[in-house]
């Protein structure tokens, strides 16, 4: 019989079972990391208005969330500290009794080695000016003075129990500084997840509420220009050369083109961070009935994995496992 298609790709889409069989991309709990905010002085979780469903945790509620993440089989949690007091040098980040370091210790006490406890290594939550480093006399972020603090911060987090630290300030040489300090203090087994290609993005807006940011000005002199692609690869290659164990692209959805670029040029795992604004947009549209929330969440994570991310940091990590049955 003539006139019929010689090829029928639709046969492989004919039923849910068939689609599962031939799916090229999967999302597994082990590939997901849950970012968490732990705030000093709270006795119960505090909702973050711009991120429905996400909270600033108390130490006790953070312990519960970490236990839940381990039970769900997530790859890890990424902890951010929200201090009550800030200063120009972010000294709370170095204090063993500071909120981030005690949150790390709490998490390790709860889960041991059953879940990776990761910690954000940056000063922006701890400085009264909100920048990711210390400022010089002209009010500019001093790269090399900041590296000294990052090195000490990495050691403090390792001593608290972090399995993995995430230098996120986009200072030149940050990975080398942290790796050298960790090794010198016999923390050779603590891994580094480098925020290798982190862009000066508008999609971080809700995060500023989540960490009670006091940012003055912007971060365009150290975070990457959204117009640049080759620069992302340069940054990633430098971080791997300096000792990064994992290289990350941030944000994720607006920068999907960078994931295969980085994936094709490095041999370490590649991560992507689905940031607060990406989360908030889906939640806001779904609340208005404009999109199917669950399908949009699953599709967004799948797109990040399909683009080349081995690991996805997402605020939906626990829900994806509990509710969407990945």
Tell me the catalytic residues.
Answer: 198, 250
User: What is the widest separation between alpha-carbon atoms in the chain?
Assistant: 82
92-120 exposure pattern, b = at least 16 Cβ within 10 A, e = fewer: bbbeeebbbbbbbbbbbebbeeebbbbbb
For residue 239, how many C-alpha atoms fall within 13 Å in the half-sphere facing its CB?
35
Selection from 247, 224, 229 nearest residue 237 by Cα? 247
117 touches 77 (CB < 8 A):
yes
Selection from 153, 166, 147, 150 nearest residue 246 by Cα? 166
How many of the other CB atoms lie within 10 Å of CB of 63?
18
The CA-to-CA distance between both ends of the chain, in Å, stands at 43
Hey, which residues does 121 pair with through a beta bridge?
167
Q: Residue 298 class from Cβ within 10 Å (0-12 exposed, 13-18 middle, 19+ buried)? A: middle
198 touches 223 (CB < 8 A):
yes
- Concatenating the DSSP letter of every residue in 159-225 gives HHT-SEEEE-S--TTHHHHHHHHHHHTT-TT-EEEEEEEEB--GGGHHHHHHTT----S--TTTSBP
Question: In angstroms, rounded to a whole number, what is the distance separating the alpha carbons of residues 236 and 37?
Answer: 26
Question: In angstroms, rounded to a whole number, what is the distance separating the alpha carbons of residues 153 and 120?
Answer: 10
């Amino acid at each position: 019989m003539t006139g019929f298609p010689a090829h029928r790709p639709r046969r492989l889409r004919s039923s849910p079972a068939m689609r599962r069989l031939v799916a090229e991309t999967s999302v597994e709990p082990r590939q997901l990391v849950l970012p968490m905010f732990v705030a000093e002085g709270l006795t119960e979780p505090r909702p973050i208005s711009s991120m429905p469903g996400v909270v600033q945790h108390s130490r006790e509620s953070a312990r519960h969330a970490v236990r839940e993440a381990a039970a769900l089989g997530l790859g890890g949690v990424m902890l951010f500290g929200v201090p009550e007091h800030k200063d120009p040098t972010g000294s709370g980040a170095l204090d063993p009794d500071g909120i981030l370091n005690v949150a790390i210790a709490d998490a390790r006490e709860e889960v041991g080695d059953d879940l990776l406890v990761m910690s954000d290594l940056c000063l922006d939550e701890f400085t009264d000016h909100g920048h990711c480093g210390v400022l010089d006399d002209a009010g500019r972020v001093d790269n090399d003075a900041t590296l000294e603090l990052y090195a000490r911060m990495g050691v403090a987090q390792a001593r608290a129990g972090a399995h993995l630290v995430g230098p996120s300030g986009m200072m030149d040489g940050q990975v080398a500084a942290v790796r050298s300090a960790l090794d010198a203090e016999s923390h050779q087994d603590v891994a580094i997840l480098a925020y290798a290609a982190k862009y000066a993005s508008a999609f971080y807006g809700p995060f500023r509420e989540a960490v009670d940011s006091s940012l003055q000005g912007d971060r365009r002199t150290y975070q990457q220009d959204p117009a640049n692609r080759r620069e992302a690869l340069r940054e990633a290659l430098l971080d791997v050369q300096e000792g990064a164990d994992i290289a990350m692209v941030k944000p994720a959805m607006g920068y999907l083109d960078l994931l295969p670029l980085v994936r094709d040029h490095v041999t370490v795992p590649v991560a992507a961070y689905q940031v607060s604004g990406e989360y908030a947009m889906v939640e806001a549209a779904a609340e208005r009935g404009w999109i199917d929330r669950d399908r949009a969440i699953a599709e967004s994570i799948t797109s990040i994995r399909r683009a080349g991310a081995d690991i996805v940091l997402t605020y939906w990590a626990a829900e994806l496992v509990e509710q969407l049955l990945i």
